[in-house]
Chain A
Amino acid sequence: MSERSGGWSVCPIPISRYPRVVMAHGGGGRIMARLISDMFRAAFDNAELNQGHDGAVLDVSAHAASGGRIAMTTDSYVVRPLRFPGSTIGAMAVNGTANDLAMCCAEPRWLTTGFILEEGLAMETLWEMVCSMADAAALAGVHIVTGDTKVVEHGRGDGMYINTAGVGLVRPGADCRAQRVEPGDAVILSGDVGRHGMAVMTVREGLEFEAEITSDCAPVWPTVRAMLEAGIDIHCLRDATRGGLASAVVEIAEASGTSIHLTESAIEVQPQVAAACELLGFDPIYVANEGRFVAFVPSRQADAALEAMADTLPGARPSVIGRVEASDPGMVALRSVIGGERIVDMLSGEQLPRIC
């Protein structure tokens, strides 16, 4: 990343020596040790990582005294291309996993990272991705405390894949799960939808629009924390990543045995995202996001929740997009902009561009 904030901008692995990743970088010998110490440890620098063990030892004693629940999650990142407008695979690997923890009302604290590198990946590219991970970790307030590196032969990967696992500290008193969603709850969406998926798509497919579409990739814990600190009784949170807003809401309806009624006009979609979706025949409510979530809260607290969420995520305008009802358990219905109603279901597979 050219506009790095961390101060180191030069790749620490001398170009003259290894301009590209070679099999030995995953071989367990000195070359790998050098990669870990000069690149990963230098960038991720934190006390837990610097213990230098096979694993990280984490101190949760203070948290244990106040309830002591921890949340854990893992996710793998295989996005292609590695960089796209607004974000990179590195930032995604940090925010995506940290956001999964936030969806458990847990403060994200520690991440692991597993790199699967393709032989021949430019060392500068690896450094750029590692730096964007370090930046995202600093912004999200998480430490990358341990990791693993494997190298696969040229042609067996898309440059690099990243797996991250995360541990977070669940806020005392928080009880956030689909089963708590109940009739009368308000459905709040944390911002506009469809940007991440379309940002990746436009770069991957070489489509150009007048206004650039940038990924919404960002940490959402500050927004969740603000809601908790405002005393909102959050019944459930779900991030609208793969499968988009629609799939997230359908999952909750099915798991909670309620029906969810959405209002299409309340769901914000940026004009350039809407235009790109129209062109390809995509429905923006099925397009992936990396910094948006839905919250289910008691309707009497909806205004307070919106107030708490405001200004926690730059550029995002949270809004109430629907309500939970008892009839037709498991169903999601959407009132269209012209007043007709339709069922919202999960897609059977991925969205495919339409013929005409």
Chain B
Amino acid sequence: MRFVDEFRDPQAADALVKAIRRTVTRPWTLMEVCGGQTHAIVRFGIDQLLPQSLTLVHGPGCPVCVTPIEQIDRAITLARRSDVILCSYGDMLRVPGSGTDLLAERAAGADVRIVYSPMDALTIAQKTPDRQVVFFAVGFETTAPPNAMAVFQAQAMGVPNFSVLVSHVLVPPAIGAVLDDPDCLVNGFLAAGHVCTIMGCAEYEPIARERGVPIVVTGFEPVDILAGILRCVEMLERGENGVANQYARMVRADGNPGARRLCAQVFQTVDRKWRGLGSIPLSGWDLRPEYSDYDAAIRFGLQEMTADEPVECRSGLVLQGRMKPSDCPMFGSVCTPERPLGATMVSSEGACAAYFRYRRRTGVSE
């Protein structure tokens, strides 16, 4: 498959691994921000190929994992209404709310549908004018443009029975929050390539300069990730900070201006609660007042709903890179994909789920 096979090429990967080994002279800790990268690292065993002095920690970039529990509860409340069709991406369905999850609600009779795009949900709304259709609009900057487009189109076409339950989160404030932690061990970041495809690289420059860290925009295939790691350790060894773009085949410096414009038109930046991390100032997007007619939380009066996360779940430490999933006392015993305590054990991009699936037994070294 073009654009995949060449980035999974064993020779290219091996050459990068050797270059990394030659470059690293001191212990470094890198954080890959995006859950998709975490998944690839564990799936392809990339971390096993690295020198021991180089540690990868897994960041907060799993959209399913960081969606706050009360937002799941809101979605469940909506799904239980007989007049609502709740549309969602597939992997949100297994995430536990305070009591149950959307898959269980569907089994109990709720009309919960997996879609591949918010535009599919909009189409369902047009075809079923007698029902309320709500799209569960979660995710980072990557998934925001299609959600913005769906709301924009709903208003333009006048689809009154469509709305979105928004819980967008933003990467730069999350990196800032990780660095703010006094116990932070991270020396450099692999930034999420697909987020930068939309947003570009510029917003990372101030973080890199002010905090004195290298931030390397990195892709998702093994060769991409190894190249990102190499670039990052080269910068660290030379004492450089700043932003480097190792995913230039996808990411332009200014991102996707059309998508950014649309997001700016539909969304405004707000304080956002992150599951496992708590509230981070100006770290999310919500609908602007001029689109509030399409805000499901307002339409169905759910704004005041709150919920607390299970105290025994340590996913906050995992999401900040302060704990490896396998070091959590609940991992694999109390907390499993069948009975997850937190969302990091649910999503295929969640660090705990990736460890459970690929690293649980002793035979494979970590």
Which A residues are in CB contact (< 8 Å) with B46?
338, 340
Q: Report the count of interface residues on B (CB-CB < 8 A).
A: 50
Identity of the chain B residue whose Cβ is nearest the Cβ of A353 in the assembled complex:
B90
Contact check, A271 vs B362: say whether CB atoms are below 8 A apart: no
Q: Shortest beta-carbon distance, A105 to chain B, in Å?
A: 31
Contact check, A341 vs B364: say whether CB atoms are below 8 A apart: yes
The CA-CA distance from A254 to B215 in the complex, in Å, is: 44
B254 on interface, CB distance cutoff 8 Å:
no
Across the interface, A348 reaches (CB within 8 A) one of B48, B64, B337, namely: B337
Contact check, A352 vs B10: say whether CB atoms are below 8 A apart: no
Evaluate whether A342 and B43 lie within 8 angstroms (CB atoms) in the complex, with A348-B336, A355-B64 already known: yes
The CA-CA distance from A331 to B361 in the complex, in Å, is: 7
B359 on interface, CB distance cutoff 8 Å:
yes
Contact check, A338 vs B364: say whether CB atoms are below 8 A apart: no
Contact check, B44 vs A278: say whether CB atoms are below 8 A apart: no
B92 on interface, CB distance cutoff 8 Å:
yes
* A interface SS class: loop
Which A residues are in CB contact (< 8 Å) with B260?
none
B262 on interface, CB distance cutoff 8 Å:
no
> A321-342, CB under 8 A of B: which get 1 and which 0?
0000001101101011111111
Stretch at the interface among B125-133, B138-146, B284-292: B138-146
Which B residues are in CB contact (< 8 Å) with A337?
8, 10, 44, 222
The CA-CA distance from A228 to B1 in the complex, in Å, is: 36
Identity of the chain A residue whose Cβ is nearest the Cβ of B62 in the assembled complex:
A355
Q: Report the count of interface residues on A (CB-CB < 8 A).
A: 33
Contact check, A342 vs B361: say whether CB atoms are below 8 A apart: no
The CA-CA distance from A281 to B349 in the complex, in Å, is: 10
Which A residues are in CB contact (< 8 Å) with B360?
343, 345
B194 on interface, CB distance cutoff 8 Å:
yes
A123 on interface, CB distance cutoff 8 Å:
no
Contact check, B348 vs A354: say whether CB atoms are below 8 A apart: yes
The CA-CA distance from A338 to B40 in the complex, in Å, is: 11
> A290-333, CB under 8 A of B: which get 1 and which 0?
00000000000000000000000000000000000001101101
Which B residues are in CB contact (< 8 Å) with A328?
361-363
Across the interface, B45 reaches (CB within 8 A) one of A281, A283, A341, namely: A341
Which B residues are in CB contact (< 8 Å) with A339?
10, 13-14, 45, 49
Q: Shortest beta-carbon distance, A335 to chain B, in Å?
A: 8
B312 on interface, CB distance cutoff 8 Å:
no
Contact check, B45 vs A355: say whether CB atoms are below 8 A apart: no
User: A interface vs B, CB < 8 Å?
Assistant: 205, 207, 259, 265, 271, 274-275, 278, 280-281, 283, 327-328, 330-331, 333, 335-343, 345, 348-349, 352-356
Which 7 residue pairs across A and B have the least CB separation, nearest first?
A340-B45, A352-B90, A328-B363, A348-B337, A353-B90, A338-B13, A342-B358
